[in-house]
Structure 1
Amino acid sequence: MRWKRAVGRVFLAATVALTGFVGAAGPVGEGLGGAPGGGRGPMTLATARDLTGYLGPLLADWNRERPGEKVTLVELPDSADEARSQMITELRSGAGRYDILNIDVAWTSEFASAGWIAPLEPARFALKSFLPPVVGTATYAGKLYAVPYVTNAGMLYYRRDLLDREGERPPRTLAELERQARTIAPKHGVGGYAGQFLPYEGLTVNVAEMVYSAGGSILGDEGERVTVDSPAARAGIGFLARGVRDGWIPEAALTFKEEESRRAFQDGRLLFLRNWPYAFAATSGEDSKVAGKFGVVPLPGIAGPGTSVLGGSNLAVGTHARHPASARDLIAHLTGEPVQRRVLTEGSLPPVRASLYEDPELVRSFPYLPALRASVLSAAPRPKSPRYEQVSLVVQAVTHDAMAQHQEPGAAVRRLADELAAIPRRG
């Protein structure tokens, strides 16, 4: 099956929450920017390093068909932080070296607020064909500043064999998850639950998912309001802190990123794991102790399915792009259905086109697609803010302290609200 053959590629995709790339045939025409008939010519496309190796052939197809608008790929470091830093340095210079930028969905507000990327005409792109929640990651202040290219959503991996032995179904609520992690896992000598709990961007995602799934939020009004001081936030952060305190979240999980957590589940050391879709292929490989013994469902919430945080990347046109009309055409191409299909089949990355999630052939090859579709449809963006990097660092520091039992959850939420309120809103 394709998802098994893709294990080698997908193993490298633990950064998939922050990177991605692919395209499809879209209509050619003028969008915003540039005089009619102008703004066309060669382009550069900047992205974090393409770890899966599928992007080069996609762009080669474009270059053969449109040699006068050849696109050159500029690969930055695969670290999201380093890629972002290099993009910002170039954009601040105003040199216009990058016509198109493949940016993490969490960077849209920051880049738009700073004036580094140009607004786009929504009618130019087939946004109604996308999974609806992903479009929200590409907007800021009521305007479209990018086009969704690759999406992602967290899902719950569970040991189907162990739940079957106990006559249990996978949890739909956080209370069920806690009960099963507390009572079933010890019977089988495994840890109860883990996610990505090291203080880095993954922890911000995990915490936001818990707060959202409990019915709360972290920021409102494009980062203008701090909304985290709520019973929902105390419940979500309390869930994580209580898990470590009571032992059904292993203490080792406080050091987990995507790959460490995947290996723990793959090696048979966990009953439940929160991770991205990329983990499905690797966990189904020949070296996995749980291959054929696990399942995937949407994350649980308070009274039913929870809310995942959207990952993935968006394509934006730089404000100083040399050839913005060609850049918009390339974005339409890369987000059209034919190329989006290749994003999935060749890159093993979740596409943004809704129809692909219900394609019988694709579902046979990628069995997690129905659960992923449900997760994306109920998902929400990370907190929007022009100062997102600072927001994320605060969330990581405070919530890790709570999980490490250095601060009780109620006090941690109050501290989180105070520190978020101290971050400048603009500039």
Structure 2
Amino acid sequence: MVTLPRRRFMQGSALAAALAAAAACSSGSGSSGSSGGSGGEVAFEGTGPITWVQGKDNSGGMVQKRIDEWNELYPDEKVTLIELSAEADQQRQSMVQNAQTNSEAYDVISVDNVWVSEFAANQWIVELPADELKNDDIIQPVWDTGVYMDRFYAMPFATDAPVMFYRKDLLEEAGVEVPTTWEEVTAAVDAVRALPGHENIGGFGGQWAKYEGLTCNISEFIHTAGGAFYDDEGNLVINTPETVAGVKAAIDAFSGDYIPTKALEWMEEDGRNAFESDSLLFYRQWPYQYANNLENLGTDKFDVAALPTIGGNAFVPTLGGHNCAITTNCQNKATALKFIKWFTSEDSERYALDTQTLAPILGSLYEDEEMLEKFPYLPILKDSLDAAKGRPQAVAYGDVTAAIQDAVYPELQKGGSAEDAVAALESRLKDLA
């Protein structure tokens, strides 16, 4: 095993403690000022206009409507929404470029939880006053996504774990039950394909284009098979029979045409469009899709279930989600912190669930009677969150995810060798050490 250098990984309690001790030598903390992107004391001062920067809003303008409510309450602290690409990789690139050019265009940014370590280590975001933001209702693993070196840098506003959307109407027409195992998934696909007019329907879709979605999807196959990328101390442990088995299961699913070849070009919305146009039976997807399906399909045609076991192993979803972070160059940090508190309040979390079906950070909303009546899948989502596992918490996460994609994607394309994919990935990750 290869031990990764501390500048790249923060896994393991001993390693995190050592890094935190080093950081403490040059910075302070407190509720009114904290160490952060600048490496020194940061006061949460300055009120006035700020920007909220996130990926493309697929909710039909519901984010802007919520921001309009803020702007009515606080007209002297106006928030302007900046929408970036719908693709996670391009969102990250835009934010990195903004930080590297010392631009003041971005104030509060929506960071994927796997970017927190990178953005904090590179001093692009500031430490937040944890004592002003934490409450007992926040799901602990979700809160932990905002921590780097025992310091809190990014407040979660939406968590995420995938579920299985399925075409209820087509399963009923074929006379099959909702599958709970991969074997039942493939049998259901065969049964629906036997129906007139559905001979070529796609089976089990996911986001397999060569971008962050591929990392999430292949991580699930690897983790479900019992494999891993790194252990808790940050040691590389990728080349194991379990990891090979996970990659092989994915390759075989493509070769057997149960994951459609078209999925190698799919990001989130591509697969959703296929699902809603009678071209896909099952879709591994984030819960935000529920609102779109309600509008475009109706409850008679779709439903949500837990993702299937694979090889007898319970499915291990990838923990997703986004966090609010304040950029180092933000000039109105008092307003930025005030906005984060408002944007992650119970009212805002309820609004985001109600209007965008974003997974809330508050455990109580998964048991809320009003929300359960509107969104009966919430217990399934909560189970998925409880079972979820994060991607590698790397400071150089962009390099790590690129290595995963570069090693795995070609073998998926050609129905190649899982052993070759894992060996290539091990070599690439060693080169990053």
Task: Note whether the superposition's TM-score is higher than 0.5.
Answer: yes
- The residue correspondences of 1:40-59 to structure 2 (distance < 5 A) are 40-48=46-54, 51=57, 52=59, 53-59=61-67
1:308 equivalent among 299, 313, 317: 317
Shift of 1:137: 2.2
Q: Which residue number corresponds to residue 381 of structure 2?
A: 372
2:194 to 179, 187, 190: 187
User: Partners in 1 of 2:414 and 2:150 — Cα distance?
Assistant: 40
- RMSD of aligned residue pairs (Cα, Å): 3.0
The equivalent of 2:20 in structure 1 is none
TM-score, length of structure 2 as denominator length: 0.80
1:336 corresponds to:
345
Secondary structure in 1 matching 2:115: helix
CA shift for structure 1 position 65:
3.7
Gaps of 5+ in 1: 1-28
2:291 counterpart (271, 281, 284): 281
Q: Distance in 2 between matches of 1:341 and 1:218?
A: 35
- Where do 5+ consecutive residues of structure 2 fail to align? 1-29, 36-40
| Mapped partners of 2:351, 2:291: distance in 1 | 17
Aligned to 1:230: 240
1:6 aligned residue: none
Check if 1:33 corresponds to 2:47.
no
CA distance in 2, matches of 1:404, 1:97: 40
CA offsets per residue over residues 102-141 of structure 1, 9 Å max, x none?
2122211110111111223332213431233322322223
Q: Which residue of 1 aligns with 2:418?
A: 409
Q: Distance in 2 between matches of 1:73 and 1:269?
A: 34
* Aligned-partner residue type, residue 83 of structure 1: Q
Amino acid at match of 1:418: S
Trace 1:243-254 onto structure 2 (pairs within 5 A): 243-254=253-264
- The answer (yes or no) to whether the contact 1:159–1:294 under 8 Å persists in 2 is yes
Query: TM-score, normalising length from structure 1?
Result: 0.81
* SS of residue paired to 2:210: coil
Match of 2:229 in 1: 218
Pair 1:62-2:70 in alignment: yes
CA distance change for structure 1 residues 417 and 265 in 2, over 3 Å: closer, same or farther?
Answer: same
* Alignment CA distance shift 1:371-1:320 (3 Å): same
Shift of residue 308 of structure 1? 1.5
Offset, 1:408? 0.5
Q: Give the superposition deviation at 1:271.
A: 3.2
SS in structure 2 at match of 1:300 = coil
Return 344-353 or 143-152, whichever deviates more. Answer: 344-353
* Conserved? CA contact 2:206–2:266, under 8 Å: yes
* Cα separation, 2, equivalents of 1:180 and 1:50: 34
Higher relative contact order (CA 8 A, sep 6+): 1
Asked if 1 retains the 8 angstrom alpha-carbon contact of 2:290 and 2:357, the reply is: no
CA separation of 1:171 and 1:316: change in aligned 2, threshold 3 A = same
2:156 is aligned with 1:148: yes
Q: Deviations over 1:372-400 (max 9, x none)?
A: 22222221222221121222222222222
Amino acid at match of 2:248: G
Give distance in 1, aligned partners of 2:335 and 2:31: 9
User: Alpha carbons of 1:77 and 1:194: their partners in 2 closer, same or farther (altered >3 Å)?
Assistant: closer
DSSP-derived class of the 2:209 partner: coil
Amino acid at match of 2:47: G
Distance in 1 (alpha carbons) for counterparts of 2:91 and 2:353 = 23
Is residue 2:210 matched to residue 1:199? yes
CA deviation after TM superposition for structure 1 residue 413, in Å = 1.0
Whole-angstrom distance in 2 between the partners of 1:388 and 1:58? 31
Among 115, 126, 149, the residue aligned to 1:118: 126
Distance in 1, Cα, partners of 2:280 & 2:42: 58
Aligned length: 392
Instruction: Give the direction of change, closer, same or farther, for the CA distance of 1:87–1:251 in structure 2 (3 Å limit).
Output: closer
Describe the SS at the equivalent of 1:263.
helix
| Mapped partners of 2:178, 2:293: distance in 1 | 18
SS at match of 1:110: helix
Change (3 A) 1:37 1:66: farther
Cα displacement string for residues 49-88 of structure 1 (whole angstroms, at most 9, x for unaligned residues): 5523233343343344445544444444444334323322
How far apart, in 2, do the equivalents of 1:391 and 1:37 lie? Answer: 34
Q: Which moved more, 1:195-204 or 1:159-168?
A: 159-168
Structure 1 counterpart of 2:24: none
| Contact map agreement 2:160 2:385 (CA 8 A) in 1 | yes
Task: Give the distance between the partners of 1:77 and 1:255, measured in 2 at CA.
Answer: 17
Distance 1:254 1:409 in 2: 17
Q: What's the CA shift string for 1:199-225, capped at 9, x where partnerless? A: 122111111111122222223458x43
The letter for the 2-side match of 1:357 is Y
Question: Quick one: distance in 1 between partners of 2:219 and 2:42?
Answer: 44
Q: Is the 8 A contact 2:111 2:322 kept in 1?
A: yes
